[in-house]
Structure 1
């Protein structure tokens, strides 16, 4: 069975909660245009709380916390920690995360950057002396930034406990994750697929991960093959690490025995990170970015994330009558791609750690700049002189809304599938390779420097109206993240589609994403052939891909009816996810 069909099958067997739909959504989208069966057109609906994530075990962990009276941040930590166990191909506690949090008591949107900085020894000269003109994508030299995820859980928890109320004890939030690590969890199709891909011995640049002993011991069978779907995978070292964090708090990860074990292993293999790097790490509350879109306020994270690009696309689209183009038309796809090119040109010029290089965000997100970008778009011809960068990214996004109206949009990642491939002995912590995206060219805006945060594709999103959350949304997928976010927003806001229909609908990808090796315009084969023909005639380098391919990323959304308080969840048929509430 192909991956798209397998993902589709998993989606079909998830129970639909109800067939009631949001009053403001145009119900003509339920006529079957994007749905193979009626059940796939149904958004789960909940009165009290809703969770959506790209793994059903993680979603269930979050709903359980909400049922016990925890707030949205509590539930998000339960989802994040569980995801770090059951979805190691996409994220672990050895990675980073970024948060958008809406506080129902204060009406404020908070943004948290929990990405790690490069180690004190990580310099261009060091890599050059070793003979590298590019940082290795895998291995010990790729693990050159401190993992920030656990610090994000901690900072968000402390904030919510003091300002939201209804917080459950910290220790309880990690229990589901500990249980899956200790007692085992079923291997999913996604985990089986990506483990299989990564044991290719012919590709020693990006794959061949069995060369790393701890990765091989934990994630592969004795025959160096992926565990089959449905096998029970246990991670006792990770269970012990999570138990220490649950008992002693996040500081145990950065200053206690966990940090000591990680650093000792790295140093024994000429790695980059030191105990001082771990002790000095901190997550930072940052000022969220926002732009207006059709009377809604779209929120995202500032640099070092590409949230600026996601918002720039909407800022450009403000200057077009998107609805008049017709959803699914050649004009629609053309406009979305051309707006993306304009945003990516700015992103590629400026995006890095703003502590090291100033970024003119006010000007880039201004209405005037959006108008100037829009004026450069030719609706009959694709631009060919704006080239995107080449970032990959294996990531998970998830959203939570609780019964008090608090909302969380959270994204967590280890960069490439299985990150660096390095698991320091005795920890179970698979380390990210996010820092391998630093450039060794001193003239590049994203060049490597000690204590610097690298360009991040991660960017969780939130849409508010009249100061209250309307849509919690996001996706994984590298360069696809801003594009899929734009697809979700335009399909819901401009075309009145339901969240599930907006995610189900055919998607496109300009540039490169996780698992893909070419820069082009990928478009799902479900799109009308006449539309594809027109796009080719306008100069787009089209590559038709399978319908529901996970190359397009795994998106999710929660729409909140501001009149009734009903919460409408959606998850992506391209992944292993689930939206559920109570």
Structure 2
């Protein structure tokens, strides 16, 4: 392994002159061939126009890399991955709906507008600031595996020791609709049926498909059309999203989903029972029997969401909350506890030392994630120990500023995915941080006859290793990647936020907190700042890195300073190119201007969404 010296006590600009000299020597040895001439115009048909020598225009205020200003309002706010979903949420708030009402309406709209990341075939998690009790409450809307699917059968379908990514073997009970119902029963103000009106209208009349969503639908359609992919039936998926050529919509094309509109009408009229016990459940049962799958009406009828107490930790005076249950939420808390032991402000924003320390904290936390995280109804997860300050101090001692830790192991306990995140707030002070997903891509590839939504492939995240807490079992919830974020200060809410995208989520959440707390960025620039994404940590479902000494791949967005990139490479990090896997962020911030509540809302420049406030 290549090793150079980081001088931890110096400012970032003075770090590791030896590394810089060595890198210059390597660059000189490699020669200085002239780069190819940049394109003069956007090539027709290309998804992206690359001009590395051209950067965004200059803003007269704010961070130089910020894409826009946060949206401000007094009465409510919403930020989602699609402008029409954001508008629907604001409309519900203006009708007198609660933040929970708006969140449900938003999620239903996203099932139409952003099927690559959401839908009623998936699960949902939420954290809610309850102004009446002045506390953060959590909801886990995660479904279990079919009770008629045995571990023996699952192992027979395994590929290289893990469940395959597509097909009926990966399908677990969809938890989203019951999650919406459970939240509405406690916090809803408008009638249940009204919450589905915007989504039904969009599904019937249609809406133009934005660039990013069109791109990912077409990628999913290509995957489902590939031979030998393990999907038992693809005709329904292609009929729903394939458009005229069977390959999916192009950017700007109008997409309609009349099947989903009918499904939403049934749920609006019959509540959660229409989905879990009525005609929809019967159709789902009949479909899986037809294709040889295992999900049954009895599995749907047995499902219930649960209210859970979020875990939390203090990070330099900010309380960060996370959902435990069967999620990866506490990985964010573990990373922040480790990072609190280091002077990130002194290291400098986007410096090699800052990114090095953050990536090492991630590697340590993710080894624990692979070893311990599971459904607590089946396994005792040592959450309090994992998020303790004492344990973080032990783990922080393993990190060196001048080298990469290798090998990296989980602690000794005493005796990849597509997701949509959205945030909204109302005039009462209620704030909702909500995340929903079908897992990888659009999901399993399976769409029940005439229902218009795809089933999640979340079951792929089970382990098949004997003795592992996340090992597959009938009626058990798989490990979950989707996690909402929430932060408070003192006795007041501060940020309802999230960064969607598989294993990027805790990494992204930690980067948002670090950007805000350590580097003082406001909510829009905190999300626009260049990100890092480390790949290659152990996974609980059998996809472990073959070499424990491997350090994985550290991907850096193109906005990370070139000198930082060089210095990280010089101490041994394998630097990867940007691949679009840096997550997508939404945030609503609560602040007080004297006695007046003010909301600020931010949205992700890496996606098609927007944030609004009024």
| Fold conserved between structures, TM > 0.5 | yes
Mapped partners of 1:264, 1:497: distance in 2: 53
8 Å Cα contact 1:209-1:215 kept in structure 2 = no
Q: Does 1:80 align with 2:107?
A: yes
Q: Give the counterpart of 2:174 among 147, 165, 168.
A: 147
Mapped partners of 1:129, 1:529: distance in 2: 48
8 Å Cα contact 2:81-2:609 kept in structure 1 = yes
What is the CA-CA distance between 1:300 and the residue it aligns to? 0.9
1:122-137 matches, cutoff 5 A = 122-129=149-156, 133-137=161-165
Q: Give the counterpart of 1:212 among 234, 253, 260.
A: 234
8 Å Cα contact 2:486-2:495 kept in structure 1 = yes
Mapped partners of 2:603, 2:157: distance in 1: 45
What is the CA-CA distance between 1:210 and the residue it aligns to? 11
Mapped partners of 1:465, 1:131: distance in 2: 46
Q: Where does residue 354 of structure 2 map in the other structure?
A: 332
Cα deviation digits, residues 488-544 of structure 1 (max 9, x gap): 11111121111110111100101169xxxx951100122111111111112211113
Q: Does 1:59 align with 2:86?
A: yes
Q: Does 1:243 align with 2:243?
A: no
8 Å Cα contact 1:174-1:242 kept in structure 2 = yes
What is the CA-CA distance between 1:206 and the residue it aligns to? 9.2
Mapped partners of 1:418, 1:491: distance in 2: 31
Mapped partners of 1:371, 1:5: distance in 2: 45
Q: Does 1:343 align with 2:373?
A: no
Q: Does 1:33 align with 2:39?
A: no
8 Å Cα contact 2:225-2:234 kept in structure 1 = no
Mapped partners of 2:80, 2:192: distance in 1: 21
Aligned pairs, number: 544
1:367-382 matches, cutoff 5 A = 367-382=389-404
8 Å Cα contact 1:199-1:208 kept in structure 2 = no
Q: Where does residue 23 of structure 1 map in the other structure?
A: none
What is the CA-CA distance between 1:4 and the residue it aligns to? 6.1
Q: Where does residue 138 of structure 1 map in the other structure?
A: 166
Q: Where does residue 525 of structure 1 map in the other structure?
A: 558
What is the CA-CA distance between 1:576 and the residue it aligns to? 0.5
1:47-446 matches, cutoff 5 A = 47-129=74-156, 133-143=161-171, 145-161=172-188, 167-200=189-222, 204=226, 212-386=234-408, 392-446=416-470
8 Å Cα contact 1:198-1:209 kept in structure 2 = no
Q: Where does residue 510 of structure 2 map in the other structure?
A: 486
What is the CA-CA distance between 1:198 and the residue it aligns to? 2.6
What is the CA-CA distance between 1:286 and the residue it aligns to? 1.0
8 Å Cα contact 2:169-2:459 kept in structure 1 = no
What is the CA-CA distance between 1:84 and the residue it aligns to? 1.1
8 Å Cα contact 1:199-1:210 kept in structure 2 = no
Question: Helix, strand or coil: the match of 1:565?
Answer: strand
TM-score, scaled relative to structure 2: 0.84
Question: Helix, strand or coil: the match of 2:597?
Answer: coil
- RMSD (Å), alpha carbons: 2.4
Mapped partners of 2:232, 2:215: distance in 1: 15
Mapped partners of 1:120, 1:211: distance in 2: 22
Mapped partners of 2:228, 2:612: distance in 1: 35
TM-score, scaled relative to structure 1: 0.89
Mapped partners of 1:356, 1:211: distance in 2: 32
What is the CA-CA distance between 1:131 and the residue it aligns to? 7.3
Q: Give the counterpart of 1:572 among 594, 604, 607.
A: 604
What is the CA-CA distance between 1:359 and the residue it aligns to? 0.9
What is the CA-CA distance between 1:207 and the residue it aligns to? 6.4
Q: Where does residue 559 of structure 1 map in the other structure?
A: 589
8 Å Cα contact 2:80-2:586 kept in structure 1 = yes
8 Å Cα contact 1:100-1:111 kept in structure 2 = yes
Mapped partners of 1:285, 1:325: distance in 2: 40
* CA distance 1:131–1:137, change in 2 (3 Å): closer
* CA distance 1:423–1:382, change in 2 (3 Å): same
Mapped partners of 1:446, 1:155: distance in 2: 26
8 Å Cα contact 1:394-1:478 kept in structure 2 = yes
* CA distance 1:336–1:205, change in 2 (3 Å): farther
8 Å Cα contact 1:291-1:365 kept in structure 2 = yes
What is the CA-CA distance between 1:550 and the residue it aligns to? 3.3
* CA distance 1:254–1:512, change in 2 (3 Å): farther
What is the CA-CA distance between 1:257 and the residue it aligns to? 0.3
* CA distance 1:402–1:130, change in 2 (3 Å): closer
* CA distance 1:129–1:459, change in 2 (3 Å): closer
Q: Where does residue 9 of structure 1 map in the other structure?
A: none
8 Å Cα contact 1:352-1:446 kept in structure 2 = yes
Mapped partners of 1:81, 1:499: distance in 2: 26
Cα deviation digits, residues 142-162 of structure 1 (max 9, x gap): 22x10000011001111114x
Mapped partners of 1:536, 1:581: distance in 2: 42
- Segments of 5+ residues of structure 2 without an aligned counterpart are 1-41, 51-55, 411-415, 538-544, 546-551
What is the CA-CA distance between 1:199 and the residue it aligns to? 3.8
* CA distance 1:496–1:256, change in 2 (3 Å): same
What is the CA-CA distance between 1:411 and the residue it aligns to? 0.4
Mapped partners of 2:227, 2:70: distance in 1: 42
Mapped partners of 2:315, 2:157: distance in 1: 49
Mapped partners of 2:426, 2:533: distance in 1: 33
Mapped partners of 1:149, 1:256: distance in 2: 16
Question: Helix, strand or coil: the match of 1:340?
Answer: helix
Mapped partners of 1:220, 1:148: distance in 2: 26
